[in-house]
Amino acid sequence: MGILVEATSAAGHLWLLLSRTSILEQIILICALPSLWVLVGIVRSLLDRGNRHVPIVGKGTSPVLPIWRARIRYINQGVELIKKGYLKVGSGTGPPDTDWTAVTVHPTFLQIVGRTSARIFVGLPLCRNPLWLETSIDFARCVFLGSGILKVIPSVIRPIAALFSPHMHRIRRHHRNARKVLLPEILRRRQQASITPDWKVKKPNDMLQWLEDASEGADARPERMVDRQLGMSFAAIHTTTNHLTNVIYDLAARWDEYGPELRAEVEEVLAETNGAWKKTTLTKLSKMDSFMKESQRLNPPSALSFNRKLQTSYTIPSSSPPQTLPKNSYIAVAAGPISVSESIYESPATFDGLRFHRMRLAVGGSAQSHQFVTTGLESMTFGHGRFACPGRFFASNESKVILGLLLMQYDVKFANPSGKPAEALRPTNLVFADACYPDPEVKVMFKRRAA
């Protein structure tokens, strides 16, 4: 339930659904949405050429299940990468693996998430190819920065400005590099499929092969499959990294309150499977799921959700009197302000890591309620309905495995010599237009868990 507000800018009309609480705070968001369409235009150039990725990703985690064990093994390798390559535990003056070490979280987890996602998207051995990793990780960064610059330039001269943008040049270079890496593999697989009698059994099990199997006609052109791989990397890597970074910041600020309890839950669940990570393992991590959702509630990736541009005029039948939204209007839902509405949550400004765990217990522990991936009119960070983010299941499972392995092996905290409260330790996020993201330069203290 909310109020529909109209605004007009050089980019056209914008209609924003505002919740009835804190209206004044939400009105400042109205001018932000048109700037999103520069970014959307760049990504659409990748995904609108074909939509075979939609039904594949839209199946939730089902395509991932056959290679779940391989994925777990690769994420375990990622934990070793944290230990040996990034966290450099034991590099200080204390005993090896027992001293506290300051780590810049965001770039560290950017590499971990990038490599883990690559294992699912392109499989072995390409997931370890340095050129593909650099391309898939930096591509999204260039899109965000390039669109951020172009959006302040009048649309009439924007195409000319793009010719001189270093980020646009890098985007084009990433396209070339992606084709250099992936095209030979696509053609190799097609050749193998034509000469291998039992190819259906031996073929790779990754997103590249899923696209190959599902694509028909023009969608099956190798160049389009490469473009869709870049689009998938854009959608998966930085969003999950930002989410994990926010979770680590919240955990480090409140380690004594939540760390031992979350670790105990992981240990309890793993004990049921003799230490093996399975799909059912992740569904039982109710407290971790709650902690992740609470972190996202207070640190959403954007203040707006369900961003759309109307291709035709539309009359809202439930409004009184009926309101007609003109063609080319932009619409959005103020998902960020809704998530901190006092009419929905008790003490909405206070971080409560087990808030959604208790809410699930209150309705009988329903597996479908108040989950990290659950969408609804009160939780629209992932959108809602038919076009809710199809990759949220992948991001949730990936995050849980990484966090679970980290909890089992490391203690985390913020350096706090002056004894500040948790709220003061938690770094303030950065805001750009409607986007909200964690400070990428913040350091967190890590220590190898005592045996």
Point out the least confidently predicted range of 125-129, 203-207, 268-272, 334-338: 203-207
When pLDDT is cut at 50, 70 and 90, the band that residue 250 belongs to is very high
**Average of pLDDT values for 37-47?**
45
Q: Tell me the torsion sign for CA atoms 331, 436, 372, 87.
A: positive
Determine how β-strand 323-325 pairs with β-strand 410-413. Answer: unpaired
**How many Cβ atoms sit within 10 Å of the Cβ of residue 299?**
23
Tally Cβ neighbours within 10 Å of residue 345.
Answer: 18
**What's the rounded Cα separation, in Å, for the pair 259 and 121?**
32
What is the DSSP code string of 99-137?
Answer: S-EEEEHHHHHHHHHHHHHHHHHT-TTGGG-HHHHHHHH
Q: Using one digit for the tens of pLDDT, what is the confidence trace for 64-108? A: 333 344 444 444 444 343 333 333 333 443 334 568 889 899 998
Decide if pLDDT at 17 tops 60.
no
Check residue 98 and give its pLDDT. 67
Give residue 22's Cα distance to chain centre.
27
The vertex-441 CA angle with 249 and 34, nearest 5°, equals: 90
Rounded CA separation 143/234 (Å): 9
Most confidently modeled range among 121-130, 206-215, 237-246, 269-278: 237-246
Confidence of residue 365 (pLDDT cuts 50, 70, 90): low
φ, ψ (nearest 5 deg) of residue 212: -60, -45
Return the closest-CA partner of residue 18 out of 297, 321, 341, 309.
341
pLDDT of residue 99: 83
